[in-house]
Chains A and B, each alone.
Chain A
Amino acid sequence: MITRQLIEQIEGEASVYFDIKEKKVNFATVTFPHFRGMESILEGKNALDSLVISPRVCGICGHAHLMATVRALEDAYKNAGCEIILSEKAEKIREFTLIMEMIQNHFKWLYIVIIPELAKLTNSILEKKPLKGAYAASLAAKAIAIFGGQWPHSSYMIPGGVTCDPTQIDILQAQNHIDELISFFERESLGIALDKFLSFESCKDFNKEIQSDITLLEESLIVADMNHKGLAYDRFIVMGEHDFTHVAKLKQTRAFGVDSKYVSTVEAYSPQENTYAYNALYKDEYYETGPLARMMSISLPIIKNMHRRYKDSAYSRVMARVFEIGYMLNYAKELLQNIDILQESVVNVADIKKISASGLGIVEAPRGPLLHNIEIKQGIIQNYKIITPTQFNIGSSTIEKPTSVQIAMKGTTKEDALFIFRTFDVCSVCTTH
């Protein structure tokens, strides 16, 4: 018998249809029923207007959409013979605000979604403290706003650089916000210093003597046997070019090169209800994207250890995301220290009306690779196509060729499956856009 479960608080809703056999999930399909048509809203507009429209794809990761758009526009300039070389300052500021958005996302996911859901599943002593996540996220948003003017929905990245021209005082204020956020993470989440956390090389390093949100989370994941559940294909993909990760596809731990031309989409399979989703594949195979993929691609010792023990289980997926908060906080701090405010914020670029070309922009959004493909004719958008990370992770296919999330939920109880579903950090509005 097929039963439907409404999933809420995933930036909109989704339905999961479970086929349960002997109390275990035999198969499940996913439906995303809402659609806005962002791509058709963009078509026919001045290409620069996409810098204002595309962040509105998503309230939680709109900044990643902004960066994918600006990269797509800059790629179009390049393909039109007008290559743009950004100043290091502009590169670093963009990278910084992108990372801060990732951090705000992960804090919300941790405190608003994962801890409460795991508490329900395990009846553990994990405390539900969603407003802690909102507070930490708001600190990260402040740091973005220093350069981007506001968060959500900033449009401060433009072809050639960034619109801001920060002073040293701005940099210091951003540093203060990072320091406050690091101190919050140490005090409220980790129970230990960030440096110590980042020096962990084994899952055994999670100090059982100190009780903190993170040690309790780790313990509860083990109690729920999530170190043996939620395994997908053990295949990962990272596509956005950044200094904090490596572009690669990984099959277990073996890394291979990636070419975006092999990314394709197919209509999602949803026999019970109309869906607007498409599944994203690489070379016709399903991959997992996001923090675990990113951390695997840079071979961090703790993640390698986690993977050796527990593979791509729900445990690894959750803990890699938590680890990425610390890793990114550290990296964001380093980025700020190296911004030379005397460099140009923007380099001159040709008038967009002179550009007729296609461009592809790829960034690592909080949940993984985000691809924006733009086709421009004399500065006007002819075609716009967006592929989002949730399309990679939360595809819905047939039983013969299940997607990452479908494989991960198979064979577990419905309750476990619902938790596993959320370990991928699902974004409904991005999926159907």
Chain B
Amino acid sequence: MHSKQDNKPRLLWLQGVTCNGNTHSFLNLPYLPLLLDKFEVLYYPAMEALHSFEEISACKLSCDVLIFEGAYDPLMKRNGVFMKEMLAHYAATAKHIVAAGTCASFGGMFKEAASHRNSGILFNEEEMNGPLLKHKKRIINLSGCPIHPEWMGYTLSMIANDQTVITDELHRPVELYSNLAHHGCTRNEYFEWKVDTKGFGQKEGCLFYEQGCRAPMTHASCNKILWNEVSSKTRIGTPCFGCTEPDFPRTELFQTKTNMSIPEDVPLGVPKRSYLTMAGIAKTFHIKRLEGKLIDYKTTD
């Protein structure tokens, strides 16, 4: 991260109110060295780069790509300098501004630290009224708590290759956020036939009906581009908490909200009546294979 060469985009990673989860998630990117080589890294919070934070916080430099991690708090200072000023200074000349994680995108977990004033850099939950509103055309939101390393890898690669990243109405890249977290879940067949998981710790069953799984309502490619290249929450029996959406974190995260046993939220874009009709029919069938154990470990003689 130390080489300085001409013509490489200058990348700067700043932090608001954060846990550092995005910083560490990004370090898991399998092609990290190759990607970093395409940039001149001015500052990165977990690794030595070209400049010290003393130099960065003096606001005398400029960057081409500004990454912001964490919730925006107008009163927050780093090294005695208001982050508000630092963010405004670097955003003014950056060609691309990337919000890394749900806090920077919508406020997220650390909006709760001071909910009346903290927000994302462009959105406050779903409302587009953040501090960088005037730079909105240059802002890409990579929501997720934390960001998936490949999502940041994709975005920075596109920027380095001078390719346009198409985004949705919440400024998230369509290639990453058009899928639902549900797509590719290994429990899909149980969802189709409305077979609940019987509590946690099971390979079998769907987590949508009782365990609070938000995957059918959540824009994310977690089950398409696996986490750490190996798995995802739903694959290992943890419900999706909807961490890429503006309303994260919700409450009662391990429980599906229901009205008279009917899920309050149904899969995205599906009319509730259609869903209930389909679910009602599916439930009338008893598929023996789906009611038993997926794997029979009994040995055959």
Whether B203 lies near A138 (C-beta < 8 A) is no
Contact A59 B241 (CB under 8 A): no
Instruction: Decide if A345 touches B200 in the complex (CB within 8 Å).
Output: yes
Known interface pairs A12-B20, A48-B253, A165-B237; A348-B53 also in contact (CB < 8 Å): no
Given A13-B53, A57-B19, A163-B238, A128 and B48 contact (CB-CB distance below 8 Å): yes
In the complex, the answer to whether A152 meets B146 with C-beta atoms within 8 Å is: yes
The DSSP consensus for interface residues of chain B is loop
Q: Which residues of A lie under 8 Å from residue B32 when comparing CB positions?
A: 131, 134-135, 138
Name which residue of chain A comes closest to B233, CB basis: A149
CB of B45 within 8 A of CB of A9, answer: yes
Interface range on chain B (Cβ under 8 Å from partner): 35 or more
Question: Could you tell me if B23 and A59 are in contact, using CB atoms closer than 8 angstroms?
Answer: yes
Interface size class of A (residues with CB under 8 A): 35 or more
Contacts of A48 in B (CB 8 A): 253-255
Stretch in B157-165, B222-230, B274-282 with 4+ CB within 8 Å of A: B222-230
A147 CA to B18 CA, complexed, in Å: 26
Docked complex: A120-140 residues within 8 A CB-CB of B: 128, 130-131, 134-135, 137-138
Within 8 A of A (CB), among B140-158: 145-146
Q: Which residues of A contact B188 (CB under 8 A)?
A: none
Q: Assess whether A301 is interfacial by the CB under 8 Å rule.
A: no
* Shortest distance from the beta carbon of B189 to any chain A beta carbon, whole Å: 16
Whether A130 lies near B252 (C-beta < 8 A) is no
Question: Does A32 lie at the interface of the complex (its beta carbon under 8 Å from any beta carbon of B)?
Answer: no
The CA-CA distance from A307 to B253 in the complex, in Å, is 47
Does B89 sit within 8 A of A, measured CB to CB?
Answer: no
Which of B29, B76, B251, B295 interacts with A167 by CB under 8 Å? Answer: B295
Chain B residues with Cβ under 8 A from A128's Cβ? 2, 48
- List which B103-118 residues lie within 8 A (CB) of chain A: 109-110, 112-114
| Residue B217 is within 8 A (CB to CB) of chain A in the complex | no
Given A12-B20, A152-B25, A153-B21, check contact A146 B47 (CB 8 Å): no
Task: Give Cα A62 to B25, complex, Å.
Answer: 12
- Given known contacts A6-B53, A138-B30, is B24 in contact with A60 (CB within 8 Å)? yes
Interfacial chain B residues near A154, Cβ < 8 Å: 233, 238
What's the nearest-Cβ distance from chain A to residue B98, in Å?
Answer: 17
Which residues 186-225 of B sit at the A interface, judged by CB distance below 8 A?
199-203, 222
Given contacts A49-B253, A56-B145, A128-B48, contact A62 B79 (CB under 8 A): no
**Alpha-carbon distance A376/B47, docked complex (angstroms):** 40
* B47–A59 touching, CB < 8 Å: no
Asked whether A60 lies within 8 Å of B251 as measured between CB atoms, the reply is: no
Is residue B235 contacting chain A, with contact meaning CB distance below 8 A? yes
Docked complex Cα distance between A351 and B19 (Å) = 30
Closest-by-CB residue of B relative to A65 is B19
Contacts of A173 in B (CB 8 A): 230
B1-28: CB near A (< 8 Å → 1, else 0) gives 1100000000000010111111111011
By beta carbon, the residue of chain B nearest A428 is B20
Give the residue among B20, B24, B48, B110 with the most A Cβ atoms within 10 A: B24
Q: Select which of B19, B30, B78, B232 is within 8 A of A56 by beta carbon.
A: B19
Tell me how far the C-beta of B80 lies from the nearest C-beta in chain A, rounded to whole angstroms: 9
| Known interface pairs A46-B252, A59-B21, A59-B23; A8-B53 also in contact (CB < 8 Å) | yes
Q: What are 15 residue pairs bridging A and B, where the CB atoms are less than 8 Å apart in the complex?
A: A34-B17, A46-B252, A56-B145, A130-B47, A131-B33, A134-B32, A137-B28, A142-B230, A150-B227, A150-B231, A154-B238, A160-B200, A164-B237, A342-B297, A346-B200
A interface residues, Cβ below 8 angstroms from B: 6, 8-9, 11-13, 33-34, 36-37, 41, 45-46, 48-49, 51-53, 56-60, 62, 90, 108, 112, 116, 128, 130-131, 134-135, 137-138, 141-142, 144-156, 158, 160-167, 173, 341-342, 344-346, 348, 429
Q: Known A-B contacts: A11-B46, A130-B1, A162-B200. Give 18 more (CB < 8 A).
A: A6-B54, A9-B45, A13-B79, A46-B255, A49-B249, A49-B252, A51-B253, A59-B19, A59-B25, A131-B32, A142-B229, A145-B231, A151-B28, A152-B21, A155-B233, A155-B238, A155-B241, A160-B200
